[in-house]
Amino acid sequence: MGWKELQREKNEQCRERHELTIERMKQIAIEEVADAAFSTFFQKTAGFLLELDEVRREIENAHWGNLDLAKMQEINRALYADILGARYESSYANPVYAVKMLGEEYGQLLSVLYAEMRAGIPYVFENKMDYLTVLHELFIEIYNCFEGEKAPEYKSLKNIVYWYASDYCDVFLADRIEEQINPAYSFAADIINTMDLEDDRYLYRFGEYISENELGTARHLRSLPEETIQKMADVYTEGYRIGFINTGKDLSKKSVVNIRYCLGFEKVVKLAIQNFEKMGLKPVIYRAASSVITKREQFKTGYYGAIPNKQYDYDHRSDQALFMDKAYVERKLDVLKNVYDKNKELAAQFAGPAVMEIFGEKPFSPEARLEATSYTDAQRSLSLLFDNKSGQITNQYIKGDERSFTIIAYPVPEIGSDYPAIFDEVIRINTLDAKVYEKVQQTIIDALDRGEYVRILGKGENQTDLKVQLYRLTDPQKETIFENCVADVNIPVGEVFTSPVLEGTEGTLHVSKVYLFELQYQNLKIDFKDGMIADYTCTNFQKEDDNKKYIYENVFHNHKTLPLGEFAIGTNTTAYVAAKKYKIEDKMPILIAEKMGPHFAVGDTCYSWSEDVRVFNPNGKEIVAKDNSVSSLRREDPSKAYFHCHTDITIPYEELEEISVVTKEGENIILLKDGRFVLSGTEILNEPLAESNLVNPSVSEG
């Protein structure tokens, strides 16, 4: 049974329940409760839910496709208007406003409730009447508590939210897992494959917020020659295929690929689907989660449109704190295990994600708001427990040593007036000659393989002074420490990387400005001792406690410390010059930025869950530095080996004084000096820099 038929059957089963909730909400929209402040909240929320159902009826009755573009845009903006721009300041979705109007406890809880009602927008477009009915019933149950003369006990409201999350975990979470592995759930794929992509109206069928970025991207792609669109799709899918070959994994055993992208790129995705089908792979294209039950903080995993308000997402990143306890976490893990076990054959066919990222949006630095929900220390521990155990369960059914991925990135119109030129430049960067880089990078690796450690020194105000210990080779003729990365899983080409030895790795990593997972960090500074983070700070906020909390939650993901999981040297000076030329350094995604200087990943190694898979460089040498003293604990207890995060932090070339390799004999081999490659055989990397006058031509080569 296809997803449409299955959903239609579910809708019929709950239609009577649904209509009853609609009638009740029509009453709530005009009723008053004892406290006028709460009346306003419930009336407004009921009005929003009724508005959603009107749109759902348009979808169900097939009237939506007859609307003109202007009407679709009007409805799209109306659904998201409450959290856009200045409107957010007087929205109940804003916990600051909700607390101000409804009191500290009630305000925070009802803001979470309102955010969960807003999660119903995508359900409307997928015509998930059953999901919407559940939301309505939650809202009505909370409302009923306020109908008496006295305000309800806060504890009773929390219990209602708790049992909503617990009871419907086996619906929302179970469906979420199946959507991630089963191509039969083809809502997005059907739009991409069957709609007229020359008509902007197709974008408004997804149920995501559509801005000028999505419209501008779709229109720009229409202006490009078909061979250019095909080239973009080919680079994307070939990177995926070659990634399996280079890591010694058998793609022929798989039948499902997960495509993750941002709306606007459908012309490329449609051709990519065709390419993947030739490899024997069907796509799963699932939406980024919207419910508090299924989403992971503010991070988006899956396809999505414009983010209407990043502060809204940040304010509600910890909403599970309202109900998370040990029993709830255990229930989620049980659901996860049961669903995977039920679908184990399908899960075994999952090959991994192919990701198309975007960049160019205005950098976002959030405000810290005390009114927003936040985890207690005990809840943070439970969250880490869930991440750890869910990772182990997933790896049991989708084995890490059998799956792979690829990631590529393109700009969106928000990047500025040079968007068309930047887009063309990124296509060029994404298709650079891998063979040229392979040879140059091997020269760098040959020098690195001689070293005991690498020394990285910052320049000027950059305070970096870091010593990175290297794996000791036992057979240099057959083994190597660094991987020669040539545009497969990470596009574009341009880096050599390793898993450092933690013991003896120490010093300070500093970068003046960096953009990580859509959040900006100013003067990020991290101190290492024996490869583990010993201290950290930034200058985003006036209070040091706020700076530390910002890093702890969003870089550390609530871990008390993290190891240095990766050290790499980026060699893509072409990308660096392009970023400088168009003044978009702060907008470059980490995927490209990591190729524009040395980078350091805190968290797991690049080889997590597949350390025992033998991997070789193009020259035939086996890469043996894949573990560290933390990840090697997987043999005894996987819960101690993995952190389920990997965050790359890049130092741009202009902030570098020197990168050098120190050998056992005490020889100091300089790789990079004053932002310029000086090792003999790497001179070609300086050509883009010299042509753009971005280096000092007097620096001698070594």
User: Residue 69 — very low, low, confident or very high, per pLDDT cuts 50/70/90?
Assistant: very high
pLDDT at 459: 94
pLDDT above 50 for 698: no
Question: pLDDT for 206-253, tens place per residue?
Answer: 999 999 999 999 999 999 999 999 999 999 999 999 999 888 899 999
How do strand 350-359 and strand 256-260 relate by DSSP bridges?
parallel
pLDDT above 80 for 498: yes
Mean pLDDT of 492-516: 94
Mean pLDDT of 24-46: 94
Cα separations in angstroms, 186 against 10, 54, 193, 284: 16, 24, 10, 7
pLDDT above 90 for 524: yes
pLDDT above 70 for 7: yes
With a CB cutoff of 8 Å and minimum separation 6, the contacts of 179 are 185, 284, 286, 287
Can you name the residues that pair with 528 across neighbouring β-strands? 507, 533
pLDDT above 50 for 568: yes
User: Residue 692 — very low, low, confident or very high, per pLDDT cuts 50/70/90?
Assistant: low
Cα distance between residue 394 and residue 629, in whole Å: 23
| pTM for the whole structure | 0.89
Long-range contacts of 97-105 (CB under 8 A, 24+ apart): 98/41, 98/371, 99/371, 101/37, 101/40, 101/41, 102/37, 102/38, 102/41, 104/371, 105/154
The CA angle 93-97-103, to the nearest 5 degrees, is 110
Q: Could you say which DSSP state residue 374 is in?
A: -
Question: pLDDT for 293-320, tens place per residue?
Answer: 999 888 899 999 999 999 999 999 999 9
pLDDT at 655: 92
- Contact, 218 vs 200, CB < 8 A? yes
pLDDT above 90 for 585: no
User: Residue 358 — very low, low, confident or very high, per pLDDT cuts 50/70/90?
Assistant: very high
pLDDT above 50 for 442: yes
pLDDT at 693: 62
Long-range contacts of 604-608 (CB under 8 A, 24+ apart): 604/565, 604/631, 604/642, 604/643, 604/644, 604/645, 604/646, 605/499, 605/565, 605/566, 605/631, 605/646, 606/483, 606/497, 606/499, 606/565, 606/566, 606/646, 607/499, 607/631, 608/400, 608/565, 608/642, 608/646
When comparing pLDDT for 474 and 589, which is higher? Answer: 474
Mean pLDDT of 259-274: 98
Both tokens assigned to 575: 């990308």
pLDDT above 80 for 487: no
Mean pLDDT of 444-472: 97
Averaged confidence pLDDT in the chain:
94
Residue where the block lists tokens 């943070």: 380
Percent of all residues in the chain with a pLDDT value above 70, rounded to a whole number = 98
pLDDT at 697: 38
pLDDT at 149: 81
User: Residue 565 — very low, low, confident or very high, per pLDDT cuts 50/70/90?
Assistant: very high
pLDDT above 80 for 518: no
pLDDT at 587: 86
pLDDT at 248: 86
Can you name the residues that pair with 465 across neighbouring β-strands? 457, 508
User: Residue 699 — very low, low, confident or very high, per pLDDT cuts 50/70/90?
Assistant: very low
Cα distance between residue 517 and residue 568, in whole Å: 19
Cα distance between residue 446 and residue 86, in whole Å: 56
φ, ψ (nearest 5 deg) of residue 80: -110, 0
Residue where the block lists tokens 């845009």: 73
- Contact, 239 vs 487, CB < 8 A? yes
pLDDT above 50 for 19: yes
pLDDT above 90 for 368: no
Nearest Cα to Cα of residue 161 among 101, 124, 108, 82: 108
Q: What share of the chain is helix, strand, coil (3-state, %, to 5)?
A: 50, 20, 35
pLDDT at 700: 34
pLDDT at 1: 64
| Lowest-pLDDT choice from 3-12, 156-165, 563-572 | 3-12
Mean pLDDT of 641-668: 93
- Tally Cβ neighbours within 10 Å of residue 238: 16
Nearest Cα to Cα of residue 325 among 366, 364, 284, 380: 380
- Rounded to 10°, the helix 129-144/104-118 angle is 160
| Lowest-pLDDT choice from 40-54, 225-239, 323-337, 476-490 | 476-490
When comparing pLDDT for 335 and 696, which is higher? Answer: 335
